[in-house]
Structure 1
């Protein structure tokens, strides 16, 4: 552990202890890791509920979003970028293809690789679901200052970058 990390951990412990003082029932604040996990679960549940109204699951929405952002992608790429296993990605892709939201084509560079891309129906559905996802985000940030989403986005990107580099 670096001295910078040790100092940061000590500061966090000291802050928790200071906040817990003075009240016989005070509880130290939850760790950031716990709060992030809790937020992930609540956001996932709320998004799943909102997307279900459009006949879409959260993994399907994520996969469609990946295809829009990255363009044609293989099953393996969709799995990795959608935070699901390759086996789950196979099931997600089968359903999306059966519903006409994606189409398969051979990779011109490697005929053994199949690339997926959005169809017009997939793009239309994704646009509708983006509105539902935006509604969930607005609800999450309802009583926050106007610059909070931008600041939060920067902080979360930095957290991801730091953990990937560690």
Structure 2
């Protein structure tokens, strides 16, 4: 007699796939890794990392964000963002007050040099995004972005 804990049960994949390399999650991760590698390469020429670039990009659009807000917006931990902010501040790319009147949040703002460095790096990063968009069939970008939003909602709701 076979014990129930030893029963072999095969879990069905969520969609037809020859192997794990054909799963949606794997392909999404592969695309992300390709994007990250391309960004790492071009940002190195501007003396920036991907998290530093993301921080500058977000601060340009929303000046005065706190460490915690920036961490959420750029998908890193608060501890990692603190290191990113310190490095950007040491390089003269942003400013933060040493103290605040209330609370602990120290809002960050880009300096002139931060805006200049971001502008130079944006051209390289936007060229990568253009390559991605050009690889899509005509008219598929809006649907792809909607699909990404649907995937996000399915995993976070």
TM-score, length basis structure 1: 0.75
Summarize deviations over 1:98-137 as a string: whole Å, max 9, x none: 11111113555x2532111112221222122221111112
- Does the residue aligned with 1:113 lie in a helix, a strand or coil? coil
**Deviation of residue 138 (structure 1)?**
2.1
Judge conservation of contact 2:96–2:109 (CA < 8 Å) in 1.
yes
**Counterparts in 2 of 1:63-78, with a 5 A limit?**
63-78=55-70
Which one has a larger percent helix, Structure 1 or Structure 2? 1
CA separation in 1, counterparts of 2:20 and 2:30? 17
Asked whether the equivalents of residues 20 and 26 of structure 2 are also in contact (C-alpha less than 8 Å), the reply is: no
2-side partners of 1:12 and 1:160: how far apart?
A: 17
TM-score with structure 2 setting the length: 0.79
Relative to its length, the structure with more strand (as a share) is 1
Match in the other structure for 2:27: 35
Specify which structure has the bigger relative contact order, considering alpha-carbon pairs within 8 angstroms and separated by 6 or more residues.
2
Q: What residue in structure 2 maps to residue 23 of structure 1?
A: none
Is 1:128–2:120 an aligned residue pair? yes
Question: Structure 2: how far apart are the matches of 1:82 and 1:144?
Answer: 25
Task: Name the count of aligned residue pairs.
Answer: 145
Q: CA deviation at 1:28?
A: 7.9
Q: Deviations over 1:130-149 (max 9, x none)?
A: 21111112222333233232
- 1:150–1:127: structure 2 CA closer, same or farther, 3 Å change rule? farther
Matches within 5 A, 1:58-137: 58-105=50-97, 107=100, 110=102, 112-137=104-129
Are residues 1:44 and 2:36 paired?
A: yes
